[in-house]
Structure 1
Amino acid sequence: MTTATLDVATLETLVSAAVAAPSILNTQPWRFRLDPDTVTVEIRAATERGLRHIDPTGRALHLSVGCAVLNLRVAVAHFGWEPVTRLLPRPEEPDLLATVRLAGPARNSTAPRLYDAVWRRHSSRFPFSERPLPSAVLTELGEAARAEGALLSRPVPRDTDRLLRLTWEAERRNTADADRAAESRHWVQDGPGSAALGMAPGTLGPQDFRDRIPMRDFGAHRHPAALPSRPFETRPLLATVTTAHDRRADWLRAGQALERVLLVATARGVRASLLHQALEWPDLRDELGSRSGESRDHVQMVLRLGYGPEGPPSPRRTARQELVEDAARSVLR
């Protein structure tokens, strides 16, 4: 699709695509502004939606914003412009995490399936089937991560067991830590009248009846027996998104890589859930990245992949809510 001019409706569609990205606990920690002089969309951190206890360094916030940047790039290309992206463009403005300029026309057209997947992608925290992923799909997912400067790695069975063990330990700590437990409960919606942020009850999913796959207890209950449970797949397919370095720009690149992987997976009918718990504890995150005999990579996300139910969508704030007040008007100047 090609559009000649940027109007309010197109701008809102672009921002809506960005807002459809995943974010930790669905905090949606981003804000958008259009610079009409350069036709550039600025993506800033909504720091008031940061997680002081779960994400004290802001790494997960940057990862979430990186996912939104990738969606914005896909949408910009879909409408016929070349998305020129800069990460951390102004050091004196630390909340300005990225800019995407609408240059044009696009040099490389984005596959329509990726744009379609932006609107269909949902995390699925439900049991998957035992059906394996074809090697061609796994290869395509790996290529998606590499296109954004990251690696998608599949651990061997021994390392899969280690990832699950570390995630279980993190889940135990998260539930026992009063501050983190309260912060997690704060982002679970109470009912249909809640704000369009946080986790709706219908999206949380059950726990694994076999106690093999450590699904996050978003309500941070003290009594696991009170949680609904179902049998999950016996051998989960896990993958890690890693980067060679661990700076703020790397976190943003990792978010773009993660989202490209998720969009390709969605286009191929593959479901995904994010196992982020062990990344929230520095010592456990260090263990996630330690593999004997290999160069050390920095793990940015643990993915569980498979075939199964799509999972219901989480609530989202609207494009108008996420655009600064003058942005929609300024596009008409």
Structure 2
Amino acid sequence: MSERTPDPPSITSWVADATTAPSMHNAQPWLFRHTQADGVLTMRMDPARAMPHTDPSTRGLHIGCGAALFNLRVAAARAGWEPDIRLLPDPADPETLAVITFAPSDGDDDLAGLYPALRRRHTSREPFTGEGVPEEVLDGLRGAALAEGARLDVAGAWQVEALLDLVRDAERAEELAPGVREEIARWTTGSPAERPEGIPAESLGPGRYDGRAPVRDFTAGRRVEGHRSAVFEQTPCLAVLGTRDDGREDWLRAGQAMERVLLQATLDGLATSLNSQALEWPQLRWAVRDPSSTAGHPQMLIRLGYGPEVPATPRRPVSEVLVLA
């Protein structure tokens, strides 16, 4: 193994950082393999964590894996390494999402500067204060999306109303889809002591007693011990992350853009939550897009604001997701 190749402890550490990324229902649908002889790190999807009812195209799975890939880039940059990434390198093997090699570098200060946010960023399903997000902060988040080839469109007042209507339509569609409800239940039962994935009860957030924030109700009519209700903000700050095209590579890039936005928002002192409900239904997804935006394909709805710190959701041990060969 060349001294110009990262050693196994470095790779292990970077993959641990990568797995702090968000994913649909915290399913953590990624697998890594590092070949020490040539220094190649391969990232693959874990098909056992796909959701055929909620995410039949695997668009959401790709976005989660893209977010993990971005975290890997941040961790490597902090350590003084530059990753060379080939997305979807083998058309005959769709489960291989990326092949990565590393070269020493002076580091990417912009990427490395995001590192402190990796383990501070948590999806919040709690009420936000309703305090407005300053325009200069929103401009920085728009720039973060652009840096990854995506676009972040912050919704104006009328767009917020339209987005909330679409989320409510998706909630009604979900109520009539037993397969979707079963998948949600699969990933939202149990505790961190019992399983290192999914969303435990303490991270589900309260039920919405009042307010209009688009926070998904993961209880789906189930009784959850200790589940409470709360008043959410009346005028949520919502942004749509979108891309110009809509193929598998675009989804991976959207995941990287999403995570860059979330990490920057964390450094800016914001709380964030993700909502893909309306995007999971093709008949609703097209209506989410801002017709004036150059991003014709919405990939994620992001809620931004100021709120309490929330605990991290569980993560699989690195030994389960990384093979050192």
Question: TM-score interval w.r.t. the shorter chain?
Answer: over 0.9
Counterparts of 1:147-158 in structure 2, within 5 Å, are 147-158=147-158
1:227 to 1:158, Cα distance in 2 relative to 1, 3 A: farther
Aligned position for 1:238: 238
Q: CA deviation at 1:311?
A: 1.6
Give secondary structure in 2 for the equivalent of 1:42.
strand
Aligned position for 2:39: 39
Q: Deviations over 1:89-119 (max 9, x none)?
A: 1112110111221112245334544111111
Contact 2:154–2:240 (8 Å) recurs in 1: yes
Q: Deviations over 1:151-190 (max 9, x none)?
A: 0001211111000110111122213311111110111132
Q: 1:232 and 1:211 mapped to 2: Cα distance? A: 4
Q: 1:296 and 1:262 mapped to 2: Cα distance? A: 19
Aligned position for 2:297: 298
Aligned position for 1:271: 271
Aligned position for 1:321: 320
Q: 2:262 and 2:290 mapped to 1: Cα distance? A: 25
1:306 to 1:153, Cα distance in 2 relative to 1, 3 A: same
Contact 1:166–1:288 (8 Å) recurs in 2: yes
Unmatched 5+ stretches in structure 1: none
Aligned position for 1:182: 182
C-alpha RMSD of matched pairs (Å): 2.0
Q: 2:245 and 2:192 mapped to 1: Cα distance? A: 42
Contact 1:171–1:214 (8 Å) recurs in 2: no
Q: 1:130 and 1:144 mapped to 2: Cα distance? A: 23
Q: 2:201 and 2:222 mapped to 1: Cα distance? A: 18
Contact 1:175–1:222 (8 Å) recurs in 2: no
Counterparts of 1:22-61 in structure 2, within 5 Å, are 22-61=22-61
Counterparts of 1:55-94 in structure 2, within 5 Å, are 55-94=55-94
Q: 1:126 and 1:48 mapped to 2: Cα distance? A: 30
Q: CA deviation at 1:248?
A: 0.4
1:176 to 1:244, Cα distance in 2 relative to 1, 3 A: same
State the aligned residue count: 322
Q: CA deviation at 1:268?
A: 1.0
Q: Counterpart amino acid of 1:303?
A: I
1:4 to 1:89, Cα distance in 2 relative to 1, 3 A: closer
Q: 2:254 and 2:191 mapped to 1: Cα distance? A: 33
Q: CA deviation at 1:136?
A: 1.5
Counterparts of 1:96-175 in structure 2, within 5 Å, are 96-106=96-106, 108-175=108-175
Q: 1:19 and 1:66 mapped to 2: Cα distance? A: 11
Q: 1:129 and 1:307 mapped to 2: Cα distance? A: 6
TM-score of the pair, normalised by structure 2: 0.94
Contact 1:181–1:219 (8 Å) recurs in 2: no
Q: Deviations over 1:241-265 (max 9, x none)?
A: 0000000000000000000000001
Q: Counterpart amino acid of 1:193?
A: A
Q: 2:58 and 2:243 mapped to 1: Cα distance? A: 17
Q: Counterpart amino acid of 2:298?
A: V
1:174 to 1:83, Cα distance in 2 relative to 1, 3 A: same
Q: 1:240 and 1:127 mapped to 2: Cα distance? A: 20
Q: How many percent identity over aligned positions?
A: 42
Moved more, 267-276 or 129-138: 129-138
Q: Counterpart amino acid of 2:86?
A: R
Give secondary structure in 1 for the equivalent of 2:132.
coil
Give secondary structure in 2 for the equivalent of 1:172.
helix
TM-score of the pair, normalised by structure 1: 0.91
Contact 1:175–1:221 (8 Å) recurs in 2: no
Contact 1:207–1:214 (8 Å) recurs in 2: no
1:222 to 1:268, Cα distance in 2 relative to 1, 3 A: same
Q: Counterpart amino acid of 1:313?
A: A
1:290 to 1:129, Cα distance in 2 relative to 1, 3 A: closer
Q: 1:106 and 1:88 mapped to 2: Cα distance? A: 27
1:222 to 1:19, Cα distance in 2 relative to 1, 3 A: closer
Q: Deviations over 1:36-77 (max 9, x none)?
A: 233221110001100110000000000000000000011111
Q: CA deviation at 1:228?
A: 2.7
